[in-house]
C-alpha cells in the first residue's frame, strides 16, 4: 500500500511551469491536432465539448460532422425544431445534451444577439454547461486562463499528485491543483494536452507511463501505485426495470409514441409499452412474435426490454400520443438506440 495524500494541502509542492511546459511540448508533438472542431470558433468548440461528455472522440466525430453540416452556426441551430435537432442527435445517447444545446442556442439568439458569449459567467449560465465545460470553451475558443476538471483530468491529477479518496473534499482539492498548475500562456494547447494525456497516456487501464512527459514528477508513478488511483468509488447495485415494447406493424408502417419532453428519451419517438396501459383488446392481430430480449443501460438503472412484434390486419383506433410511420422513415427520425436496433432487425 502506498503512502498517499487524502486531500490537497498547501504544503504540497509541484512545479507548475515544468508540468505545463512538458504537457504543451508533448501535445504539439504527439497530441491530437487534427480533430474537426479544433480552432477558435466557439460554436464548434461548444458543440464538441457537449458531445464529448460521456462519449469518446471516435464515436463523436461522425455525429459532430453531421450536426455542423445540418446546423453550421448558432442561428441555424436556434431556428431548427427540437425534432430536427434530436433526429440529428439520434444514437449518440444522453438526449438531454441535445435538448440543452437547442435551448442554449435560442438563449444566445435572445440574450446575446446571436453571438456566442465570451464571458465565462455567461457561458456557465447556458443550459447544459458546468464549470469544467465552460472553462474548456473559454480556454480553447478565447484563450482564457481557466482550469478544466473532467473525468480524465481528475484521474491524471489524482495520480500525478498522489491524491487518494473521493468525495467533495477530494474534488475541491483537485480543482485547486488544476488551477495552480495553469500556465499563463498557451492555455488552449495546455487544455488540449490535458485532454489528450487523459485519453492517450494516463488511461484508466494500461496507462502508458513510460511515454509520459511528466513521469519524473508523478507521485503515483514514482511510488509504484498508479493502479490504486483514482480510488474507486464503492460500486452501487444498478436497479433494474422491465418493459414490453410493442412493434405494431401494419404493412410497412409501425406505431410509434412521442415521449414526454422531460425524462428518459424525452421528446424522442419510441415504441409503445404495455406497462403504459395500452389496450390490445380490439386489435386485429394476424401474427404475434416474441423477439429476443435486450438490455439497455442508463446512468441510474438497467432496462430489460421484451420486444413483442404484432402484425396487424388494420390500424387500431387512433390513440393519444401514437403515430404511424413507415419503418424506413422512422429510422431517420429521433429514436433511441434500442428502438433503432429493433427496427433494423425487422
Binding region for ligand SF4 (CB under 6 A): 156, 159-160, 201-202, 207, 209, 212, 214-215, 218, 220-221, 226
Nearest to ligand SF4 of 104, 201 (CB atom): 201
Dihedral sign of CA atoms 120, 126, 130, 132 in order: negative
DSSP 150-174: -HHHHHHHHHHHTB---SHHHHHHH
Minimum CB–partner distance for residue 215 and ligand SF4 (Å):
4
Q: How far is the CB of 156 from ligand SF4 (least distance, A)?
A: 5
Q: How far apart are CA 113 and CA 115, in angstroms?
A: 6
Distance in angstroms (rounded) separating the CA atoms of residues 309 and 345: 11
Cell of 165: 479518496
Half-sphere exposure in the Cβ direction for 264 (13 Å, CA): 13
Query: In whole angstroms, how close is the CB of 17 to ligand SF4 at the nearest point?
Result: 17
| Residue 227: CB minimum distance to ligand SF4, A | 9
Please confirm, yes or no, whether 185 is among the known catalytic residues: no
Nearest CA-CA partner of 181 in 5, 46, 8 = 8
Decide if 310 contacts 285 (C-beta within 8 A): yes
Max Cα-Cα span within the chain: 76
Q: Which of 17, 85, 9, 2 is nearest to 47 (CA)?
A: 85
CB of 150 to ligand SF4, least distance (A): 15
Cβ-contact 291, 309 below 8 angstroms: yes
To which residue does cell 396487424 refer? 312
Of the candidates 49, 82, 110, 228, the residue annotated as catalytic is 49
Cα–Cα distance measured from residue 216 to residue 228, given in angstroms and rounded to the nearest whole number: 18
- Report the distance separating Cα 134 and Cα 138, nearest Å: 6
Active site residues: 49
Amino acid at each position: 500500500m502506498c503512502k498517499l495524500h487524502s486531500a490537497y494541502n498547501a504544503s504540497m509542492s509541484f512545479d507548475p511551469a515544468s508540468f505545463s511546459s512538458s504537457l504543451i511540448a508533448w501535445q504539439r508533438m504527439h497530441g491530437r491536432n487534427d480533430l474537426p472542431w479544433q480552432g477558435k470558433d466557439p460554436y464548434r468548440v461548444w458543440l464538441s465539448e457537449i458531445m464529448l461528455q460521456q462519449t469518446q472522440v471516435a464515436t463523436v466525430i461522425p455525429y459532430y460532422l453531421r450536426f455542423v453540416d445540418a446546423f453550421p452556426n448558432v442561428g441555424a441551430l436556434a431556428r431548427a425544431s427540437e425534432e430536427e435537432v434530436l433526429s440529428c442527435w439520434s444514437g449518440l445517447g444522453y438526449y438531454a445534451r441535445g435538448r440543452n444545446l437547442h435551448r442554449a442556442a435560442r438563449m444566445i439568439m435572445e440574450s446575446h444577439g446571436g453571438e456566442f458569449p465570451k464571458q465565462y459567467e455567461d457561458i456557465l449560465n447556458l443550459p447544459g454547461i458546468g464549470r469544467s465545460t465552460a472553462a474548456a470553451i473559454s480556454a480553447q475558443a478565447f484563450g482564457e486562463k481557466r482550469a478544466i476538471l473532467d473525468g480524465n483530468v481528475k484521474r491524471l491529477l489524482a495520480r500525478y499528485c498522489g491524491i487518494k479518496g473521493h468525495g467533495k473534499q477530494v474534488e475541491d482539492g483537485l480543482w485547486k491543483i488544476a488551477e495552480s498548475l495553469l500556465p499563463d500562456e498557451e492555455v488552449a494547447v495546455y487544455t488540449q494536452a490535458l485532454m489528450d494525456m487523459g485519453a492517450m497516456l494516463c488511461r484508466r487501464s494500461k496507462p502508458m507511463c513510460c511515454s509520459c512527459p511528466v513521469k519524473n514528477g508523478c507521485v503515483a508513478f514514482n511510488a509504484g501505485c498508479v493502479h490504486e488511483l483514482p480510488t474507486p468509488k464503492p460500486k452501487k447495485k444498478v436497479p433494474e426495470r422491465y418493459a414490453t415494447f410493442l412493434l405494431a406493424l401494419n404493412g410497412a408502417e409501425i406505431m410509434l409514441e412521442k415521449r414526454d419532453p422531460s425524462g428518459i428519451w424525452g421528446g424522442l419517438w419510441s415504441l409503445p409499452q404495455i406497462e403504459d396501459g395500452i389496450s390490445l383488446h380490439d386489435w386485429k392481430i394476424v401474427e404475434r412474435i416474441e423477439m429476443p430480449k435486450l438490455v439497455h443501460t442508463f446512468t441510474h438503472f438497467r432496462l430489460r426490454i421484451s420486444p413483442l412484434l404484432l402484425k396487424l390486419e388494420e390500424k387500431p383506433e387512433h390513440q393519444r400520443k401514437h403515430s404511424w410511420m413507415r419503418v424506413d422513415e422512422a429510422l431517420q427520425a429521433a429514436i433511441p438506440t434500442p428502438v433503432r436496433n429493433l427496427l433494423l432487425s425487422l
